[in-house]
Amino acid sequence: MLTTRWLLKNCNIIDGLTDEVHENAFIKIENGMITEVGQGEPTQTGGFEIIDCTGKYVLPGLIDCHVHLVWNGSADPQSVINHEENDRIALEAYKHALDTLRLGITTVRDLGSPDRTVLHVRNVINSNLLEGPTIIASGAPICMTGGHVYYLGYESDGADEVRKNTRRVLKEGADLVKVMATGGIYTKGEDPGSVQLTIEELSAAKEEALKKNKKVAAHADGLEGIMNCLEVGIDTIEHGIFADRQALEIMKKQGTFLVPTMAVMRQLTSSPDIPAFALEKAKKVVEPHFNMLKEAVQIGVKIATGTDCGSPLTPPVYYFDELSIMHEAGMSQMDVIKASTSVAAECLGIEDQVGSVSAGKQADLLIVEKNPLENLNSLRDDKLIMKNGVFVK
Ligand SMILES: [Zn+2]
C-alpha cells in the first residue's frame, strides 16, 4: 500500500517563492498535500513515514508552460501523426506525458493538440486514473485557414468564426484558449514575422475566453502580431521572437507573461534532418530571439519556463537546456527556478495549487543531491520525484 503521510526531515528547501535556501527544514505531507513546512525538529510525527534529506535539496516540481504532448520530438513529429487516428494519438500523448513526469516536470501546459486528444489525456491524469503530470490544456488552437500548425487547430476566418471556435474549444473543456497571432517556423510557406489572426479576430477570442474566466495564450513571433496581442490583452506571449523594447515594456506594464521557448529554436537548427523549410527559417531567428530574451530579462518582464517540447528534435529532456539558456540570458539560477515553479504556476493561473513548497499546495516535489543554485544542470541528475504525495516510478 502507498504511504499517504510523509515527513521529509533535515531538508535544504528552495521553496520557489523566496530567495533564501531554508536549511534544516521539514515538510509534512498528508493525502497528497503539503500540510506543514517548518524549521528544526518537527513535533507530532506519529504515523508519518520519515525520509532523512540530510545534505539534499528539496524544491517544487518543475512546470513546463508550453508543450505539445501529441508530438514525439523526432525531426518531423507531425509527419508521425499525420495519418493516425485520434485514439492512437491520445495514447502516444499519454506516453509523452509520462516521459515528462519522469524527468521531474510535474505540471505541463499543452498548447495545441488535434480535437480532444490531449483533453482526454488530461482528464484521466488529473482525475488520478493514470499517473502523469498535472495537465492544463488548450485543446485545438485557433488559427487562420492554412495558418500556423493548422493541422492541429480549428481554422477560423473573421471574428465570428473565431468566436464560434473559441466557444467550441471551451465547450470541449479547454482550460485556456490558444491563438495563432503570427506565422512560425514549423509550418511551410509562412514567415514567422507575418500577421495571421487579425486584431479583430484576437479580440473575439479574448472576449469569449473572458466570459468563461479563461486565459488566452498566443503564438506570436513577429512584432506586429505581438503588438496586436498586447492591445487586446492576451495573457501570455509564446516565443515573442521579434518583440522590441517598446513591446517588452508594455508586457512589463500589463503583467503579460513571456514564455520564450529558447531551446526549440536552437534544436531546429541542429540537424539536417529537420524539414528544410523550417531549418532555413530557424537559422534566421536564433540570434534575435536570444537578444530579445536578454532585453526582457533586463526590463523585468515576467518570464515563465516553456520548451515547446514534442517539436522537432525537442523531446522533454530539453527542459534542462531551456533552463541553461535562460541563465545565459542573464537570469540568476534562483530566478530560473522561480520561472519554472511559482512564476510558471502564476502564468497558468494555478498558483494556489502548485509551484511552491508551502502548506496547502499539492505535494509535487523534487529531492535532488546537489544544490541547483550552484549548477542548474544538477536538476538533470537522478532524483526523487513526488507528484501529489506519491513517489514516481
Ligand atoms: Zn508550440
Cα of 391 to ligand 1 centre, how many Å? 29
Neighbours of 76 (CB within 10 A): 15
DSSP 8-state symbol, 326: H
Residues 6+ positions from 289 with CB-CB distance below 8 Å:
239, 241, 260, 262, 265
As a whole number of angstroms, the distance between CA 206 and CA 386 comes to: 36
* Same domain, residue pair 266 and 363: no
User: From the CA of 368, how far away is ligand 1's center (Å)?
Assistant: 29
**Ligand 1 centroid to residue 262 C-alpha, Å:** 11
Instruction: State in Å: Cα 68 to ligand 1 middle.
Output: 6
Backbone angles phi, psi at 158, to 5 degrees: 90, 155
Examine the domain organization and report whether 14 and 85 are in the same domain: no
**Are residues 99 and 18 both part of a single domain?**
no
Cα 66 to ligand 1 centroid, rounded to whole Å: 6
- For residue 241, report the distance from its CA to the centre of ligand 1, in Å: 13
At residue 308, the pLDDT reads 97
Entry field: residues in the chain: 393
pLDDT value at residue 2: 56
Centre of ligand 1 from the C-alpha of residue 111, in Å? 6
Q: 159 alpha carbon to ligand 1 midpoint, in Å? A: 23
What grid cell was written down for 183? 506565422
Among the listed residues 353, 360, 358, 243, the one whose alpha carbon sits nearest the alpha carbon of residue 303: 243
Residues 146 and 274 in one domain: yes
- When computed from its CA atoms, the radius of gyration of the chain, rounded to whole angstroms, is 20
Residue 11's domain is classified under what CATH number?
2.30.40.10
CATH code: domain of residue 295: 3.20.20.140
Ramachandran bin of 290, using left for φ above 0, alpha for ψ from -120 to 50, beta for the remaining angles: alpha
In sequence order, the β-bridge partners of residue 14 are 21
The verdict on 98 and 9 lying in the same domain is no
**What is the CA(369)–ligand 1 centre distance, in A?**
32
Distance 365 CA to ligand 1 centre (A): 26
Q: Cell numbers at residue 308, please?
A: 515547446
Same domain? 277 vs 185: yes
pLDDT score at 1: 45
Distance from residue 282's CA to the centre of ligand 1 (Å): 14
* 275 shares a domain with 286: yes
Q: Mark whether 267 and 200 lie in a shared domain.
A: yes
Same domain, 114 and 213: yes
Same domain, 21 and 9: yes
Residue numbers of the domain that contains 196: 62-348
Q: What is the pLDDT along the chain (393 residues), one digit of tens a residue?
A: 456 899 999 999 999 999 999 999 999 999 999 999 999 999 999 999 999 999 999 999 999 999 999 999 999 999 999 999 999 999 999 999 999 999 999 999 999 999 999 999 999 999 999 999 999 999 999 999 999 999 999 999 999 999 999 999 999 999 999 999 999 998 999 999 999 999 999 999 999 999 999 999 999 999 999 999 999 999 999 999 999 999 999 999 999 999 999 999 999 999 999 999 999 999 999 999 999 999 999 999 999 999 999 999 999 999 999 999 999 999 999 999 999 999 999 999 999 999 999 999 999 999 999 999 999 999 999 999 999 999 998
Contact between 119 and 139 (Cβ < 8 Å) = yes
The verdict on 285 and 372 lying in the same domain is no
Domain count, the chain: 2
The alpha carbon of 78 and the centre of ligand 1 are apart by a number of angstroms equal to: 12
- Same domain, yes or no: 155 and 281: yes
* Residue 393 pLDDT: 82
Cell (9 digits) for 316 = 522533454
Interatomic CA distance for residues 110 and 259, integer angstroms: 13
Residue 356 Cα to ligand 1 midpoint, Å, equals 25
Please give the Cα distance from 144 to 162 (Å, whole number).
9
Residues lying with their CB under 5 A of ligand 1, a single-atom ion: 308
Residue 257: which of 109, 107, 101, 149 has the closest Cα? 109
